[in-house]
Structure 1
Amino acid sequence: MAVTSGMGIMRLAPEARLSGATIGAGCIWLAGQVADDSSLDTEGQTADILAQIDALLAEAGTDKRALLSVTIVLTDIKEAPAMNRAWDRWLDPAHKPARMTIQAPLVDRAWRVEITGVALAPPP
Protein backbone atom coordinates (compact mmCIF):
# COMPACT_ATOMS: atom_id res chain seq x y z
CA MET A 1 0.00 0.00 0.00
CA ALA A 2 1.34 3.43 -0.92
CA VAL A 3 0.40 6.68 0.78
CA THR A 4 1.14 10.01 -0.92
CA SER A 5 1.41 13.23 1.05
CA GLY A 6 0.52 16.69 -0.21
CA MET A 7 4.25 17.37 -0.41
CA GLY A 8 4.76 14.83 -3.20
CA ILE A 9 6.32 12.24 -0.88
CA MET A 10 5.18 8.66 -1.36
CA ARG A 11 5.42 6.21 1.55
CA LEU A 12 5.38 2.47 0.85
CA ALA A 13 4.42 -0.26 3.33
CA PRO A 14 3.54 2.10 6.20
CA GLU A 15 3.60 0.58 9.69
CA ALA A 16 2.98 1.98 13.17
CA ARG A 17 6.41 3.63 13.52
CA LEU A 18 7.84 3.79 10.00
CA SER A 19 7.37 3.24 6.30
CA GLY A 20 9.15 0.43 4.50
CA ALA A 21 10.36 2.95 1.93
CA THR A 22 9.93 6.65 1.26
CA ILE A 23 10.10 8.17 -2.22
CA GLY A 24 10.85 11.83 -2.87
CA ALA A 25 13.35 14.18 -4.48
CA GLY A 26 14.22 11.55 -7.08
CA CYS A 27 15.31 8.89 -4.56
CA ILE A 28 13.90 5.90 -2.70
CA TRP A 29 15.01 5.55 0.92
CA LEU A 30 14.62 2.05 2.33
CA ALA A 31 13.94 1.62 6.02
CA GLY A 32 16.12 -0.89 7.83
CA GLN A 33 14.78 -4.23 6.63
CA VAL A 34 14.96 -7.29 8.89
CA ALA A 35 14.04 -10.92 8.24
CA ASP A 36 10.41 -11.96 8.51
CA ASP A 37 11.68 -15.32 9.80
CA SER A 38 14.16 -14.62 12.59
CA SER A 39 14.79 -18.35 13.12
CA LEU A 40 16.92 -18.42 9.93
CA ASP A 41 20.70 -18.28 10.06
CA THR A 42 22.58 -15.19 8.81
CA GLU A 43 22.60 -16.34 5.19
CA GLY A 44 18.89 -17.13 5.30
CA GLN A 45 17.98 -13.85 7.00
CA THR A 46 20.01 -11.95 4.40
CA ALA A 47 18.21 -13.71 1.53
CA ASP A 48 14.85 -12.97 3.20
CA ILE A 49 15.73 -9.27 3.53
CA LEU A 50 16.98 -9.00 -0.05
CA ALA A 51 13.66 -10.45 -1.27
CA GLN A 52 11.87 -7.75 0.75
CA ILE A 53 14.08 -5.10 -0.85
CA ASP A 54 13.23 -6.50 -4.29
CA ALA A 55 9.52 -6.23 -3.45
CA LEU A 56 9.78 -2.65 -2.15
CA LEU A 57 11.78 -1.53 -5.18
CA ALA A 58 9.28 -3.24 -7.52
CA GLU A 59 6.43 -1.42 -5.75
CA ALA A 60 8.37 1.81 -6.33
CA GLY A 61 8.65 0.95 -10.05
CA THR A 62 12.31 -0.07 -10.17
CA ASP A 63 14.72 -2.82 -9.12
CA LYS A 64 18.08 -3.46 -7.43
CA ARG A 65 19.98 -1.99 -10.39
CA ALA A 66 18.83 1.45 -9.16
CA LEU A 67 20.48 1.06 -5.74
CA LEU A 68 22.99 3.81 -5.07
CA SER A 69 24.15 2.75 -1.61
CA VAL A 70 23.47 0.02 0.94
CA THR A 71 24.30 -0.26 4.64
CA ILE A 72 24.34 -3.72 6.18
CA VAL A 73 24.33 -4.19 9.95
CA LEU A 74 25.45 -7.53 11.34
CA THR A 75 25.17 -8.43 15.01
CA ASP A 76 28.40 -10.43 14.61
CA ILE A 77 30.88 -9.30 11.97
CA LYS A 78 32.25 -12.87 11.86
CA GLU A 79 29.02 -13.71 10.01
CA ALA A 80 30.04 -11.52 7.04
CA PRO A 81 30.97 -14.53 4.86
CA ALA A 82 27.48 -16.04 5.39
CA MET A 83 25.84 -12.70 4.61
CA ASN A 84 28.04 -12.29 1.54
CA ARG A 85 26.99 -15.68 0.15
CA ALA A 86 23.37 -14.49 -0.03
CA TRP A 87 24.44 -11.02 -1.21
CA ASP A 88 26.62 -12.42 -4.00
CA ARG A 89 23.78 -14.65 -5.29
CA TRP A 90 21.43 -11.63 -5.33
CA LEU A 91 23.75 -8.91 -6.62
CA ASP A 92 23.66 -7.83 -10.25
CA PRO A 93 27.42 -7.67 -10.93
CA ALA A 94 26.96 -4.93 -13.54
CA HIS A 95 25.11 -2.67 -11.06
CA LYS A 96 26.92 -2.84 -7.71
CA PRO A 97 25.86 -0.16 -5.21
CA ALA A 98 28.26 1.50 -2.81
CA ARG A 99 28.14 -0.59 0.37
CA MET A 100 29.10 -0.41 4.02
CA THR A 101 28.94 -3.30 6.50
CA ILE A 102 29.11 -2.71 10.25
CA GLN A 103 28.58 -4.62 13.48
CA ALA A 104 26.00 -3.37 15.96
CA PRO A 105 23.30 -4.79 18.24
CA LEU A 106 19.78 -4.86 16.80
CA VAL A 107 16.47 -4.24 18.58
CA ASP A 108 15.44 -7.92 18.54
CA ARG A 109 18.19 -10.33 19.63
CA ALA A 110 16.94 -12.91 17.09
CA TRP A 111 17.75 -10.60 14.18
CA ARG A 112 21.23 -11.18 12.80
CA VAL A 113 21.07 -8.75 9.86
CA GLU A 114 19.47 -5.41 9.00
CA ILE A 115 19.82 -3.75 5.60
CA THR A 116 18.94 -0.25 4.47
CA GLY A 117 19.69 1.62 1.27
CA VAL A 118 19.02 4.44 -1.14
CA ALA A 119 17.98 3.94 -4.76
CA LEU A 120 17.33 6.25 -7.68
CA ALA A 121 13.57 6.62 -8.23
CA PRO A 122 12.20 6.14 -11.73
CA PRO A 123 11.14 9.32 -13.54
CA PRO A 124 7.52 10.33 -12.81
Structure 2
Amino acid sequence: MSIKRIEPGVRMSGAVVHGNTVYLAGQVGDGETVTEQCKDALGEVDRLLAAAGTDKSKILQTIIYLSDMSYFGEMNAAWEAWVDPANTPARATSEAKLAAPKYKVEFVVTAAI
Protein backbone atom coordinates (compact mmCIF):
# COMPACT_ATOMS: atom_id res chain seq x y z
CA MET A 1 0.00 0.00 0.00
CA SER A 2 1.37 3.40 -0.94
CA ILE A 3 2.12 6.28 1.42
CA LYS A 4 1.54 9.89 0.34
CA ARG A 5 3.05 12.72 2.38
CA ILE A 6 1.35 16.11 2.20
CA GLU A 7 3.56 19.13 2.89
CA PRO A 8 6.57 17.07 3.99
CA GLY A 9 9.22 18.89 5.96
CA VAL A 10 12.46 18.16 7.76
CA ARG A 11 10.70 17.34 11.05
CA MET A 12 7.23 16.18 9.98
CA SER A 13 4.58 16.19 7.27
CA GLY A 14 1.36 18.18 7.50
CA ALA A 15 -0.53 14.97 6.77
CA VAL A 16 0.17 11.40 5.71
CA VAL A 17 -2.18 9.26 3.63
CA HIS A 18 -1.92 5.48 3.93
CA GLY A 19 -4.55 3.45 2.15
CA ASN A 20 -7.91 5.10 2.78
CA THR A 21 -6.83 6.90 5.96
CA VAL A 22 -5.25 10.32 6.48
CA TYR A 23 -3.33 11.24 9.62
CA LEU A 24 -2.86 14.94 10.32
CA ALA A 25 -0.02 16.41 12.34
CA GLY A 26 -1.16 18.31 15.41
CA GLN A 27 -2.75 21.60 14.35
CA VAL A 28 -2.41 24.77 16.40
CA GLY A 29 -3.69 28.22 15.51
CA ASP A 30 -2.89 31.87 15.83
CA GLY A 31 -4.80 34.24 18.07
CA GLU A 32 -4.99 35.43 21.64
CA THR A 33 -8.10 33.50 22.72
CA VAL A 34 -8.95 29.81 22.68
CA THR A 35 -11.79 30.58 20.25
CA GLU A 36 -9.45 32.35 17.82
CA GLN A 37 -6.88 29.57 18.02
CA CYS A 38 -9.56 26.90 17.54
CA LYS A 39 -11.00 28.62 14.45
CA ASP A 40 -7.55 29.03 12.92
CA ALA A 41 -6.41 25.46 13.71
CA LEU A 42 -9.68 23.92 12.49
CA GLY A 43 -9.34 25.94 9.28
CA GLU A 44 -5.97 24.22 8.82
CA VAL A 45 -7.64 20.87 9.47
CA ASP A 46 -10.15 21.67 6.70
CA ARG A 47 -7.32 22.67 4.33
CA LEU A 48 -5.22 19.55 4.97
CA LEU A 49 -8.23 17.24 4.71
CA ALA A 50 -9.08 18.81 1.35
CA ALA A 51 -5.48 18.31 0.19
CA ALA A 52 -5.87 14.63 1.09
CA GLY A 53 -9.15 14.37 -0.83
CA THR A 54 -11.55 14.28 2.09
CA ASP A 55 -13.41 16.56 4.53
CA LYS A 56 -14.53 16.89 8.15
CA SER A 57 -17.56 14.64 7.60
CA LYS A 58 -15.09 11.73 7.33
CA ILE A 59 -13.15 12.38 10.55
CA LEU A 60 -12.81 9.16 12.52
CA GLN A 61 -11.05 10.43 15.62
CA THR A 62 -9.83 13.71 17.09
CA ILE A 63 -7.53 14.10 20.06
CA ILE A 64 -7.56 17.58 21.56
CA TYR A 65 -4.87 18.92 23.86
CA LEU A 66 -5.57 21.98 26.00
CA SER A 67 -2.83 23.85 27.84
CA ASP A 68 -5.35 24.34 30.66
CA MET A 69 -8.60 22.41 31.19
CA SER A 70 -10.30 25.66 32.18
CA TYR A 71 -10.51 26.27 28.39
CA PHE A 72 -12.72 23.19 27.91
CA GLY A 73 -16.03 25.08 27.58
CA GLU A 74 -14.66 27.70 25.19
CA MET A 75 -12.99 25.02 23.06
CA ASN A 76 -16.22 22.98 22.98
CA ALA A 77 -18.19 26.01 21.74
CA ALA A 78 -15.73 26.52 18.87
CA TRP A 79 -15.64 22.77 18.13
CA GLU A 80 -19.44 22.47 18.07
CA ALA A 81 -19.71 25.45 15.69
CA TRP A 82 -17.25 23.71 13.33
CA VAL A 83 -17.81 19.94 13.53
CA ASP A 84 -20.28 18.23 11.18
CA PRO A 85 -23.16 17.49 13.60
CA ALA A 86 -24.31 14.50 11.52
CA ASN A 87 -20.83 12.94 11.60
CA THR A 88 -19.20 13.57 14.96
CA PRO A 89 -15.98 11.59 15.44
CA ALA A 90 -14.68 9.70 18.41
CA ARG A 91 -12.92 12.31 20.55
CA ALA A 92 -10.69 12.67 23.59
CA THR A 93 -9.52 15.85 25.33
CA SER A 94 -6.55 16.12 27.69
CA GLU A 95 -4.52 18.81 29.36
CA ALA A 96 -0.92 18.98 28.17
CA LYS A 97 1.98 21.37 27.98
CA LEU A 98 2.05 22.41 24.32
CA ALA A 99 5.06 23.21 22.10
CA ALA A 100 5.10 26.94 22.95
CA PRO A 101 3.48 28.93 25.77
CA LYS A 102 1.36 30.93 23.31
CA TYR A 103 -0.57 27.80 22.24
CA LYS A 104 -3.75 26.99 24.15
CA VAL A 105 -5.17 24.18 21.99
CA GLU A 106 -3.95 21.52 19.54
CA PHE A 107 -6.01 19.15 17.38
CA VAL A 108 -4.77 15.75 16.17
CA VAL A 109 -7.08 14.32 13.50
CA THR A 110 -7.43 10.96 11.74
CA ALA A 111 -9.93 10.70 8.87
CA ALA A 112 -11.13 8.34 6.16
CA ILE A 113 -10.62 9.23 2.49
With the length of structure 1 as denominator, give the TM-score of the two structures. 0.87
Q: Which of the numbers 52, 55, 58 marks the counterpart of 1:63? A: 55
Residue 76 (structure 1) aligned with residue 68 (structure 2): yes
Where do 5+ consecutive residues of structure 2 fail to align? none
Amino acid across the alignment from 1:30:
L
> Given the alignment of the two structures, is residue 107 of structure 1 paired with residue 87 of structure 2, yes or no?
no
Q: Which residue of 1 is the match for residue 37 of structure 2?
A: 45
- Counterpart of 1:3 in structure 2 is none
* Structure 1 residue ranges, 4+ long, deviating more than 4 angstroms after superposition: none
Aligned length: 113
**Which digits, 9 at most, give the CA deviation of each residue in 1:22-77, with x for residues without a partner?**
00032100111111x2x421111011110000000111111001100000000001
In the TM superposition, residue 108 of structure 1 has moved relative to its aligned partner by 0.5
Which protein shows a greater Rg? 1
**CA distance in 1 between partners of 2:68 and 2:62 (Å):** 18
Identity within the alignment, %: 42
In the other structure, the counterpart of 1:86 is 78
The CA deviation at 1:107 is 1.3
Match of 1:33 in 2: 27
Aligned residues: CA RMSD:
1.1
- The TM-score with structure 2 as length reference comes to 0.95
Determine helix, strand or coil for the equivalent of 2:7: strand
Structure 1 stretches lacking a partner, 5+ long: 1-6
